[in-house]
Structure 1
Amino acid sequence: MFMWGSMIDATAGGAPRAPLRTSDVAHATGYSVQQVRDLERLGVIPPATRSPNGYRSYAPIHVHALGAYRGIAAAIGAVAARRLLTELREQTVTEAAAAVTSIHAGLARERDEALRAQAALHAIQAEGSFPDGEAADDAMTITELAAALGVRASTLRFWEQEGLVTPDRVTSLRARRYGLAAIRQARIVAALRSSGYGIPAVSGVMSSLDGLGGVAEAERMLQHRLDQIGGRSVALLRASADLAAVVSAPAG
């Protein structure tokens, strides 16, 4: 566990403490000395002051900034976190608060998408296996299926090209006909894609589809995604105090 609080609270209720050395900041945050220097160079933390002999001198705000960076990086990725921390120092408190709120909102959207996909998979599981014989009335055209799934017809053609969905071909024009098995395939693909899974991951599920086994694997993937989103949200919450210190710090 990192000692962010102890390094910062040492200034409370007494004379100002001596400036922090690079090694002090590294020890307080769990980063290496080189990482502290690199993150300063990248603009994640404000530039350190320099003593006459050229040594860096840091302050508690640098420890706060690195604590905030750790949480934001866990939530949205290192590249986006570096950009955000650089921008926050140039913004008003209101603008900075809005930027942080947007991260929480983005995580909430991802969670909602995963939950909707999970609900769709539950519905597919509840339906059970499809019979070998399918009535003509149960089939759908590509336009009908695209509308039902809320995707473009071109998306269904792409999924077919990638081997994710296998429709029947009927009529002299070779028009696509989606029977119940193909409809189920498309629903599983749509559920996973809507939750952010790439084609390779979805392909892995579909290639192992056997009865309801593929649905169970898709369910496992979505639960894993929900767990990841939860972890990212907790990391952002843990960074809240450090973020508040960063956005409230006087300019300059």
Structure 2
Amino acid sequence: MNPGALRPVDLAREHGLSTQAVRNYEDEGILPPAERSASGYRRYTPVHTQALRAFLALRPGYGHGVAAEILRSAGRGDTGTLFRLVDRAHADLLHERDTLAEVTAALGTLTTDPGPTPDSYARTDPTVGMLARQLGLHPASLRKWEAAGILHPRRDPATGHRRYPPEAVRDAYVARQLRRGGFPLDRIRTFTEQLRGAGDAGALGEVLAEWHGRLHRRSRAMLAAGRHLDAYLDLVPAPAAPTEG
């Protein structure tokens, strides 16, 4: 047995973790399998130490699940999957950044001119058909967004038809931009709820600034994690070269 072998507590202490958390990470394949002493105790090495550092560094930027898959791929020498996971995470981040820019531009228009509508619609809250034409959508999409809690039209007391006040028109424009960005309906509902709670244009700006800050922190976390992952890859066995058939 290597006299310099490390115990779970040695890995845990560096990061303020419990020893059980370290064992769990090994059981989940995030850390490579450890040797066992004659009495069954786990014995770790500097490879495990760096694997744990890499995982904990990756997690803030990539999320727990993706970070775990990256470490599992590294542990089995599957760099093809590893790099695809890294590339996809960066592509997803860029996609979200582009969506934020589109939403910011859309909100800038809607808050400075809350009725980006034809004059014929500006004198009254539009109906579902009118708003759908403005957005270039089918009315069924607006009804689906209403069912999902994204839109809150009022009902005309005389006819019972849906009417969309300025706030609902704004939410519809934002929802369209987010859907184009690939956002699921539950996330759009959360965002429009934040917009309604924010109220004025200044508060809406705070919501967008928070979103921007979150993306900035995630980008920095992904950048910082790279050196820890690279150091770990230097310690694990290199993948076997493909054989010619």
| TM-score bracket for the superposition, by shorter chain length | 0.7 to 0.9
Correspondence for 2:95 among 98, 106, 109: 109
Q: Which residue of 2 aligns with 1:13?
A: none
Matched residue count:
229
Q: Is the 8 A contact 1:142 1:156 kept in 2?
A: yes
Correspondence for 2:189 among 187, 199, 216: 199
> What TM-score do you get using the length of structure 1 for normalisation?
0.72
**CA offsets, 1:96-131, max 9 Å, x none?**
22321221221121122112111211222232x55x
Q: Is the 8 A contact 1:159 1:165 kept in 2?
A: no
Measure how far apart 1:181 and its partner are. 6.0
Measure how far apart 1:189 and its partner are. 4.5
Q: Is the 8 A contact 1:45 1:62 kept in 2?
A: yes
Q: State the distance in 2 between where 1:100 and 1:243 align.
A: 11
Q: Which residue of 2 aligns with 1:41?
A: 27
Is the counterpart of residue 164 in structure 1 residue 136 in structure 2? Answer: no
Closer/same/farther in 2, CA of residues 192 and 106 from structure 1, 3 Å limit: closer
Write the letter of the residue equivalent to 2:99.
Answer: E
Q: Is the 8 A contact 2:107 2:174 kept in 1?
A: yes
Is the counterpart of residue 136 in structure 1 residue 120 in structure 2? Answer: yes
Q: State the distance in 1 between where 2:34 and 2:164 align.
A: 64
Q: State the distance in 2 between where 1:58 and 1:187 align.
A: 55
Closer/same/farther in 2, CA of residues 135 and 110 from structure 1, 3 Å limit: closer
Correspondence for 2:60 among 74, 98, 120: 74
Q: Which residue of 1 aligns with 2:243?
A: none
Write the letter of the residue equivalent to 2:141.
Answer: T
**CA offsets, 1:188-241, max 9 Å, x none?**
4545675674425523532664xxx1x433332222122112112212222112
**CA offsets, 1:8-63, max 9 Å, x none?**
xxxxxxxx982222222112333222211111111111111112232221122212
> What runs of 5+ residues in structure 1 fail to find an aligned partner?
1-15
Is the counterpart of residue 216 in structure 1 residue 216 in structure 2? Answer: no
> What runs of 5+ residues in structure 2 fail to find an aligned partner?
240-245
Quick one: percent identity of the two aligned structures?
A: 29
Q: State the distance in 1 between where 2:136 and 2:23 align.
A: 48
Q: Secondary structure at the match of 1:164?
A: coil
Q: State the distance in 2 between where 1:137 and 1:175 align.
A: 15
Q: Is the 8 A contact 2:175 2:188 kept in 1?
A: no
Q: Is the 8 A contact 1:121 1:191 kept in 2?
A: no
Q: Which residue of 2 aligns with 1:93?
A: 79
Q: Is the 8 A contact 1:165 1:186 kept in 2?
A: no
Write the letter of the residue equivalent to 2:196.
Answer: M
Measure how far apart 1:250 and its partner are. 0.4
Q: Which residue of 1 aligns with 2:214?
A: 228
Is the counterpart of residue 250 in structure 1 residue 237 in structure 2? Answer: yes
Q: Is the 8 A contact 1:50 1:56 kept in 2?
A: yes
Write the letter of the residue equivalent to 2:153.
Answer: T
Closer/same/farther in 2, CA of residues 208 and 81 from structure 1, 3 Å limit: closer
Q: Which residue of 1 aligns with 2:225?
A: 239
Q: Which residue of 2 aligns with 1:3?
A: none
Q: Displaced runs of 4+ in structure 1, greater than 6 A?
A: none
**CA offsets, 1:75-110, max 9 Å, x none?**
232233323422333343344223212212211211
Point out the more displaced range, 78-87 or 220-229. Answer: 78-87
Q: Is the 8 A contact 2:30 2:72 kept in 1?
A: yes
